[in-house]
Structures are given as C-alpha cells and as structure tokens.
Structure 1
Amino acid sequence: MGELANCPNCHAIFLRGTATVCLNCRKQEEEDFQTVYRFIRKKKNRTATVEDITKATGVDEELIRKFVKERRLHPAQFPALAYSCEKCGASIQEDRLCVSCKKTLEEGLKAHEQTSQALEQKKRENLSSGLTYYSVNSHKKS
C-alpha cells in the first residue's frame, strides 16, 4: 500500500504508490507529454533536441528528460533525445550512467572485492597458524 507524501511539484498531499506526483500534476504531465509527442511526431521535428522541444512547446526540459528516462519517448525513434547521467551529468540515451561512470564503478567494485578476498585469506591464515591450545593440569600429583 502507498504512503502519504507531498507532491514535489505543488506540495499537495497524495498517496504515493506507483505515482510520484499527485493526480492533478499527473494529469498536467500527461497533457505535456501529448504536447511534446505531437511536436516530435512531425517529420521535420524528429531530430529536435530537448532544448528545441522546450522552446517550441513550453514544456520544462526536466520533464522531457523524465519522459525519455521512463522510455515514453524512445531515442531510437527520436535520435536527438537524451538525458543526464546520474553521476556526472553527461548526455546519455539509455541506462542510468554513462559508459565512463559505469567503467569507474565496475573498477571500484573489482578493487573492493579483491581487497575483501585478501583480508579474508589473511584472516584464515592467521587463524590456522595461531591456534594452539594448551591444557593445564591443576591437580598435581604429589
């Protein structure tokens, strides 16, 4: 079940579930989507950039990028559409990170994994070489 939240656009209270904005803002987003889609469906506008679409339709650039990110507008059909990498801000057309940021993240994960494995190996070596138990006989025979 959803939770109560404030709409990030108009600050109205709504039940957050699959929707990230209130009903009124969602209706406005849908109208804006239709405006953008009608604009870029025209053959002469298919290669329009996000900035061009914003100027022609008046729809906010962030909202257009959101449509691309949500795959409502496909860069395969409209090659000039892109959105920002979540880490560095570079323009991308798929995923959440650009190729460079993905590579950096993967290298960091590999380095972390190697370090973790080396620490585990060292622990095992220390445990196996340092475990010697001695028993003390407290009942001495006289």
Structure 2
Amino acid sequence: MGELRNCPTCNAVFSFNGLREVCSKCNQLEEDMFTTVYHFLRKRENRAATIERIVEVTGVTDKLLHKWVRKRRLQPAQFPGIGYPCDSCGTLINTAKLCKNCQESIKNDLELHESNEAFKEQMANSQKRTYLSSKNRD
C-alpha cells in the first residue's frame, strides 16, 4: 500500500504509489488535457507551435506542458516549439536538467576551483620547506 499524500493540485488525500503524482480525479483531468494538447499538436499547421501558443489555444498550463516534455510524453523531435526550462537559468531545453551554457559555466567554475586548490596546496608545500644556512667560520 502506498503512502498517503495530499494532491498538489486540489489538496485531496490520495494513496501515492510512485506512479502518479496527483489524485485520480486530477490525473483524469490531466489526461483529458493531454488529449486536447496532443490533438492540437498533431495538426500539421500546429506542430511548430510554441508553448505560449499551446497555452493560449488549449488552456493548459505551461507547467503541465513542461512536465509532459520532461516525462517524454511530448517529444521535442516531433514538436520543435516545446521544451522545459533549464533548472538554473530558465532557458527552454529538450534534454538534461541544465542548458549547455549552464553546464559549461559549472564546468569552468569547477576547473577554476581545482586550479585554485592546487595553487593553495603548492603554496602550503613551499612554505613548509626549511632553509638552513651555514654559519660563517672565522
């Protein structure tokens, strides 16, 4: 048996089994909305529609569209105007959690951090050296 949760959409209590994130009533509403969106996008003239246009025509929220793209229910390869926001900057993407720019930025920051750590270690090692001088003999 699943754990009891509140539906994030309507706040009703439901048994969460790991498959559905909402109660059965909201799930049915989402499925009906998905059917509406899918029929809209299947028309040749609507295949390149943007998320804003889909929201305007169908009344579905952009968050729900993003959810369907993330779960691969709507394929950006078939419908190039859709995607979901990068977790960092919000740019629309089709794969992963971060856009290429954010991935590069994180990679560069990590490389900079590693080089700074290596420099600190090198400085610490150079300060540990003991220099001995010989006394002048008279």
Larger Rg: 1
Q: Aligned residue pairs: how many?
A: 128
CA distance in 1, matches of 2:85, 2:109: 22
In the superposition, relative to structure 1, how do residues 112 and 35 fare at CA in structure 2: closer, same or farther (>3 Å)?
A: same
Secondary structure of residue in 2 paired with 1:24:
helix
Root-mean-square deviation (CA, aligned residues, Å) is: 2.5
Name stretches of at least 5 consecutive residues in structure 1 with no aligned partner: 130-142
TM-score by length of 2: 0.77
CA distance in 2, matches of 1:85, 1:22: 27
CA distance in 1, matches of 2:78, 2:40: 13
| Offset of residue 86 of structure 1 | 0.9
Secondary structure of residue in 1 paired with 2:87:
coil
CA distance in 1, matches of 2:104, 2:35: 36
1:3: which partner in 2? Answer: 3
Identity of aligned residues (%): 45
2:74: which partner in 1? Answer: 73
CA distance in 1, matches of 2:62, 2:71: 14
TM-score by length of 1: 0.75
2:135: which partner in 1? Answer: none
CA distance in 2, matches of 1:54, 1:7: 23
| Offset of residue 103 of structure 1 | 1.2
Deviations 1:111-130 (A, max 9, x none): 4555667788999x7xxx9x
Secondary structure of residue in 1 paired with 2:15:
strand
Name stretches of at least 5 consecutive residues in structure 2 with no aligned partner: 130-138
Amino acid in structure 1 at the alignment position of 2:93: I
CA distance in 2, matches of 1:15, 1:112: 45
In the superposition, relative to structure 1, how do residues 15 and 43 fare at CA in structure 2: closer, same or farther (>3 Å)?
A: same
